[in-house]
Chains A and B, each alone.
Chain A
Amino acid sequence: MLLRHTPSEIKERNALTINPAKTCQPIGAMYAALGIHGCLPHSHGSQGCCAYHRSTLTRHFKEPVMAATSSFTEGASVFGGQANLLQAINNMFTVYTPEVIAVHTTCLSETIGDDINQIIRKAYEDGKVPEGKHVIHCNTPSYVGSHVTGYANMVAGMVKYFSESTGRYRDQINIIPGWIEPSDMREIKRIAKEMGVKIILFPDTSDVLDAPQKGKHMFYPEGGVTIPDLRSTGDSKLTIALGPFGTESAAALLDTKCKVKYELLDLPIGISATDRFISGLSRAACVEVPVSITAERGRAVDIITDMQQYFYNKKVALFGDPDQLMALTEFLVDLEMKPIHIISGTPGKQFVPRIRNILKDKVPNANVRNGANADLFLLHQLIKNEPVDLLVGNTYGKYIARDEDIPFVRMGFPILDRIGHSYFPTVGYSGAMRLLETILSALMDRQDRDAPEESFELVM
């Protein structure tokens, strides 16, 4: 019993976080930046930050992750990191020849007060940025928000530095995905293509963090949104922003900066959220929803119909990132399941009311918490007090799942012990089918395992 020390009595803690359901901003900025083609993310701080982010992303994606660091020393921490960053920019363009360097800060460089805008300006003035190349940045103090905030900040940074309104109208839709997998980004592009809609998806980590084996080191893999495409987002018809926590700041900035209106939707996880996404996209682009997409929906609905008795009234505990949790909660409620404990380490006032609104009278007494002290220790205590039939969350849920003997579906970040997430989507109708399959398999494997011999069934 790894977590044998977890007491079931819940006491309010005022300081401590035990087994967090979040991590810090910079890794989100790094992940988003990898979704620009030819981009080298740069961590402005101590060497360890960059090493930890690269290792964590590598464990999650099983892919090489390239990023550089300012390698702060004691001197830099006293006198400021300007010299380090200028030298770093020069070195990166010389040796690694990126199209873009995407700088994010850390708790260290934020606290000592480095002004990145000014340092980047100086890099251009000193001729350290070659013609046609770019340096962009965002501020990601680790002591504010979470990894999701960092992702949102870097995506907004892309708009700030690249989006431009030329006055020339383009028949294209911007889609800004919240923090989802490369597989999900690929799926969104497939859906748009199927519908005949030209989209600019940014960031786009497909073909970056799910790259094929080529027998050589691709420092910059083939995927990622290109700079011309990013520029053109200022001339698009509309932005569809998927997931308020990850995308609203970027979408709002694009509206302010280039007058491109936006529609804010949930991540298209589950039937209802995907319906809203598909109809939003069809409305925006003035296209009919093709038969092929309707058929996908039909197949997903058919699975739910076939297997409804296995979902009915099952209690679920969820933890992870707010954009995923909002869509997933709605999906589970659509399946007539009961999400009774929902935890996110990411702070943000809209989370709890939104989840309550989805749960309404279906699960009125659910425990919904986010922000400070909403961690896996609390989730475990909640589960001890009111057990569940299923746990959904990232790899760190496996301790609770094992100790309490609960079926466990892995979803979220990070997933360190299974593959699949980066290859098979959870968005769209086909993503819904995959989720249905993984949830059902977890529940039914458990039923098979626990069934007494006399009621062990062949046909289910």
Chain B
Amino acid sequence: MVKVLAQREKQVFRKGEDTFNIGCERNSVAGSVSQRACVFCGSRVVLYPIADALHLIHGPIGCAAYTWDIRGALSSGPKLHRLSFSTDIQEKNVIYGGEKKLYNSLIELIDIYHPKAAFVYATCIVGIIGDDVDAVCKRVAGEKGIPVLPVHSEGFKGTKKDGYRAACEALLKIIGREATDKVPEFSINILGDFNIAGETWVIRDYYRRMGVEVVSVMTGDGRVADIGRSHGASLNVIQCSGSMMYLAKKMKEKYGIPYIRVSYFGIEDTSEALFAVARFFNDTEILERTGLLVESEVERVNRQIQRYRKKLKGRKATIYVGGAFKAFSLIKALHLLGMEVAVVGSQTGNIDDYTRLKDMCLPGTIILDDSNPVELANFSLEKEVDLFIGGVKERPLAYKLGIGFCDHNHERKQILAGYEGMVNFAKEVYSSVMSPVWRFSPRKTGRMANDIG
């Protein structure tokens, strides 16, 4: 039996064996090797794809260095977001305050790059030394005539989710700045897609084919001006609900824009997303175009994944993701490939998420909240999984065990969204699970590297 920290026992659930009472939305236990990040990380990942804005990180160098272009959020135009800007706080700033340095940095940056807006991320230390970031931002905005927005993302002030919220607060200050008279009736905003590997472009293209205009994407391949007029759209379509639900709710309150929650992962969910948007507009032509699009794409995808499905049938997987919503889609997509999910967990799921996960899974499935490498490795071995779906820290863990891997996080290198994403996903899962390298792997051969012969 896998050993679990006493304080974490409630965050591990075996379907069919335990009564369902999973603990979640708790702070991590101090001393655990948690896979979670911080408030700043949440803000940074959400805002960073806005490509024509400055992203200045106010703090010591690390926060800027570790988040420098690590997420493949692509831009079709300006690429300011791929640079790393820091006030590089030094000891004397900690003692005497960093406001002057922040002011000078902003002025220098704006003079060099002429951005459309600037985001200023306050990191842990700024919260402690008490710099008045809001006042500096306001002053620079006045002097330079662009929006300069503080993002209160001190790492210790909660979890990644609080960082999402701080990012949404900043976005809300941009929304409404531009005129909306040119925005057509059949128009939406895409919320919670970050254009990793170019996924936004794929999704935008579906809407184009349906006859629905995308006013803004928050934030994949994002532009300040588009976000500024996003309040003119008729509907908000949210993907990564963990990061953007707050924004959608606020936009509904303030501008009366309704929202729907969708996923573009897997053919089932992608089709449902597109139909949901079409149904919302209830326009015969849009509905018809959507029907045709879905029909042809689904047929194509089903044909293309056949050969993978044959080989993958009955194989087992572990899923460990940031937000639980993504896990729902992944489970469906794996089922489509004939695979079973044996272990599934998330960093930040809530009770509704875990209830839904429980209902989707087979008896015996292990469900985890805020897990750690020991649990993930041991449960994966116990369940003899063939595939691990996770992020950067999980990849080498899986490989060391001799388990195939698919990155469904920042480091995906191919489009995994939409219909072509499903084909890519099938291909990637197949190539890793069926890789000939496992013939040499100790896990499969029962042989250590040092007893060859």
Where the two chains meet, the residues of A that have a C-beta atom closer than 8 Å to any C-beta of B are 2-5, 7, 13-20, 22-27, 40, 42, 45-56, 58-59, 61-74, 76-77, 84-85, 87-92, 94-96, 106-108, 111-112, 141-144, 146, 211-219, 345, 372, 396, 399, 416
Contacts and interface: CB of A to CB of B under 8 A. Distances in A.
Contacts of B89: 107, 143
Given A17-B86, A47-B38, A51-B41, A143 B402 contact: no
Nearest to A85: B30
A385 B28 CA distance: 51
Contacts of B123: 107
A107 B32 contact: no
Contacts of B29: 71, 87, 91
Contacts of A70: 30-31
Contacts of A84: 30
Interface string B69-108: 0100000000110111111111101100000111011001
Given A48-B39, A91-B31, A111-B129, A217 B85 contact: no
B83 A143 contact: no
Contact of B128 (A87, A91, A96, A108): A108
B48 interface: no
B435 interface: no
Given A51-B35, A68-B33, A213-B400, A107 B59 contact: yes
Interface stretch (B193-201, B302-310, B337-345, B391-399): B391-399
Interface stretch (B139-147, B174-182, B371-379): B371-379
A220 B201 CA distance: 43
A88 B104 contact: no
Interface stretch (B17-25, B235-243, B420-428, B441-449): B441-449
Contacts of A59: 70, 392
Contacts of B85: 16-18
Contacts of A108: 124-125, 128, 155-156
A218 B129 CA distance: 41
Nearest to A74: B157
B51 to A, nearest CB: 11
A416 B38 CA distance: 22
B59 to A, nearest CB: 7
B61 interface: yes
Given A74-B157, A91-B5, A214 B400 contact: yes
B36 A15 contact: no
A402 B248 CA distance: 40
B389 interface: no
Contacts of B109: 16, 18
Interface residues of B, number: 85
A17 to B, nearest CB: 4
A22 B62 CA distance: 8
9 contacts: A2-B82, A47-B36, A64-B393, A72-B124, A95-B5, A95-B31, A107-B124, A143-B91, A215-B443
A46 B87 CA distance: 20
Given A18-B83, A67-B33, 7 more contacts: A52-B62, A59-B392, A64-B393, A85-B30, A91-B7, A112-B128, A144-B91
B127 A77 contact: yes
Interface in B418-440: none
Nearest to A5: B113
Nearest to B411: A59
Contacts of B395: 58, 62
Nearest to B437: A213
Nearest to B410: A55
A16 to B, nearest CB: 4
A90 B31 CA distance: 8
A71 B396 CA distance: 24
A77 B33 contact: no
Contact of B105 (A15, A58, A88, A106): A15
A143 B393 contact: no
A3, A71, A372, most chain B CB atoms within 10 A: A71
Contacts of A85: 30
B401 A47 contact: no
A46 B38 contact: yes
Given A42-B31, A49-B155, A143 B93 contact: yes
B27 A111 contact: no
B155 A46 contact: yes
B402 A142 contact: no
A390 B224 CA distance: 38
A158 B20 CA distance: 46
Nearest to B377: A217
B442 A66 contact: no
Q: Which 3 A-B pairs have the closest CB atoms?
A: A48-B38, A24-B62, A88-B31
B167 interface: no
B442 A20 contact: no
Contacts of B373: 64, 66, 217, 219
Contact of A213 (B5, B129, B399): B399
A72 B88 contact: no
B254 interface: no
A108 B157 CA distance: 12
A214 B448 contact: yes
B388 to A, nearest CB: 12
A366 B32 CA distance: 48
B62 to A, nearest CB: 3
Nearest to B163: A48
B38 A49 contact: yes
B36 to A, nearest CB: 5
A213 B449 contact: yes
Contacts of B7: 91
Given A52-B41, A217-B374, A17 B156 contact: no
Contact of B396 (A4, A64, A396): A64
A400 B135 CA distance: 36
Contact of B441 (A23, A71, A73, A213): A213
A307 B63 CA distance: 43
Given A51-B38, A58-B393, A20 B449 contact: no
Contacts of B323: none
A23, A47, A91, most chain B CB atoms within 10 A: A47
